[in-house]
Amino acid sequence: MEDYIKVTERIIPHIEEAVGLKLYETQKRYLIEGIDIFRGRRSGKTVAHAIKVAFTEGDPLDFRKPYKTHFEREFLRYREMLYNYGFPVRPIILPKKKGTTK
Protein backbone atom coordinates (compact mmCIF):
# COMPACT_ATOMS: atom_id res chain seq x y z
CA MET A 1 0.00 0.00 0.00
CA GLU A 2 1.32 3.44 -0.95
CA ASP A 3 1.31 6.57 1.18
CA TYR A 4 -0.29 9.88 0.29
CA ILE A 5 2.56 11.61 2.08
CA LYS A 6 6.10 10.30 2.38
CA VAL A 7 7.01 11.52 5.85
CA THR A 8 10.48 13.05 6.01
CA GLU A 9 12.33 15.24 8.51
CA ARG A 10 11.23 18.22 6.41
CA ILE A 11 7.52 17.35 6.82
CA ILE A 12 7.64 16.71 10.59
CA PRO A 13 7.39 20.40 11.63
CA HIS A 14 4.28 20.75 9.46
CA ILE A 15 2.72 17.65 11.02
CA GLU A 16 3.50 19.02 14.50
CA GLU A 17 1.90 22.35 13.60
CA ALA A 18 -1.16 20.62 12.14
CA VAL A 19 -1.81 18.48 15.23
CA GLY A 20 -0.60 21.01 17.79
CA LEU A 21 1.97 18.67 19.35
CA LYS A 22 5.73 18.30 19.47
CA LEU A 23 6.33 14.68 18.42
CA TYR A 24 8.62 12.42 20.45
CA GLU A 25 11.70 11.04 18.71
CA THR A 26 10.10 7.56 18.76
CA GLN A 27 7.05 8.94 16.95
CA LYS A 28 9.24 10.62 14.33
CA ARG A 29 11.20 7.39 13.71
CA TYR A 30 7.94 5.45 13.38
CA LEU A 31 6.54 7.92 10.85
CA ILE A 32 9.75 8.27 8.84
CA GLU A 33 11.29 4.79 9.04
CA GLY A 34 8.37 2.60 10.15
CA ILE A 35 10.31 1.42 13.20
CA ASP A 36 7.96 0.42 16.02
CA ILE A 37 9.93 0.91 19.24
CA PHE A 38 7.03 1.88 21.49
CA ARG A 39 6.87 0.24 24.90
CA GLY A 40 3.94 0.41 27.27
CA ARG A 41 1.17 2.90 27.71
CA ARG A 42 1.49 6.64 27.14
CA SER A 43 4.34 6.11 24.69
CA GLY A 44 2.74 8.09 21.86
CA LYS A 45 1.98 5.15 19.59
CA THR A 46 -1.72 5.99 19.18
CA VAL A 47 -0.94 9.48 17.87
CA ALA A 48 1.85 8.26 15.57
CA HIS A 49 -0.22 5.37 14.23
CA ALA A 50 -3.25 7.61 13.63
CA ILE A 51 -1.06 9.98 11.59
CA LYS A 52 0.47 7.05 9.68
CA VAL A 53 -2.96 5.59 8.82
CA ALA A 54 -4.25 9.03 7.77
CA PHE A 55 -1.38 9.27 5.26
CA THR A 56 -1.93 5.77 3.86
CA GLU A 57 -3.66 5.36 0.50
CA GLY A 58 -6.48 2.87 0.18
CA ASP A 59 -10.21 2.44 0.06
CA PRO A 60 -12.20 4.79 2.29
CA LEU A 61 -12.32 3.67 5.91
CA ASP A 62 -15.88 3.00 7.07
CA PHE A 63 -16.88 4.70 10.33
CA ARG A 64 -20.65 4.22 10.06
CA LYS A 65 -20.97 1.89 13.05
CA PRO A 66 -22.25 3.65 16.18
CA TYR A 67 -19.53 2.43 18.57
CA LYS A 68 -15.97 3.60 18.01
CA THR A 69 -12.82 2.34 19.70
CA HIS A 70 -10.37 4.71 21.37
CA PHE A 71 -8.08 4.43 18.35
CA GLU A 72 -10.89 5.18 15.89
CA ARG A 73 -11.86 8.33 17.80
CA GLU A 74 -8.24 9.47 17.94
CA PHE A 75 -7.70 8.65 14.27
CA LEU A 76 -10.71 10.74 13.26
CA ARG A 77 -9.52 13.63 15.42
CA TYR A 78 -5.95 13.65 14.05
CA ARG A 79 -7.08 13.00 10.48
CA GLU A 80 -9.33 16.05 10.64
CA MET A 81 -6.47 18.23 11.95
CA LEU A 82 -4.17 17.04 9.14
CA TYR A 83 -6.93 17.57 6.56
CA ASN A 84 -7.70 21.08 7.84
CA TYR A 85 -4.00 21.93 7.61
CA GLY A 86 -4.05 20.93 3.94
CA PHE A 87 -2.47 17.48 3.93
CA PRO A 88 -3.98 14.88 1.59
CA VAL A 89 -5.46 12.19 3.85
CA ARG A 90 -7.22 8.87 3.45
CA PRO A 91 -10.93 9.17 2.68
CA ILE A 92 -13.49 8.05 5.23
CA ILE A 93 -17.19 7.15 5.26
CA LEU A 94 -19.16 8.69 8.12
CA PRO A 95 -22.74 7.94 9.16
CA LYS A 96 -25.48 10.04 7.64
CA LYS A 97 -26.71 12.75 9.95
CA LYS A 98 -30.30 12.37 11.09
CA GLY A 99 -32.72 14.39 9.04
CA THR A 100 -30.61 14.40 5.88
CA THR A 101 -31.29 12.54 2.67
CA LYS A 102 -27.73 12.52 1.34
pLDDT tens digits, residue range 32-88?
A: 998 877 777 777 889 999 999 999 999 999 999 877 888 999 999 999 999 999 999
* 67, 58 contact by CB (below 8 A): no
Q: What amino acid is encoded at 92 in this protein?
A: I
Alpha-helical (H) ranges within the chain are 12-19, 25-33, 45-54, 70-85
Decide if pLDDT at 3 tops 70.
no
Cα 9 to Cα 34: distance, rounded to the nearest angstrom = 13
Decide if pLDDT at 101 tops 60.
no
Q: What pTM was computed for the model?
A: 0.85
Helix, coil or strand: residue 55: coil
* 4, 88 contact by CB (below 8 A): yes
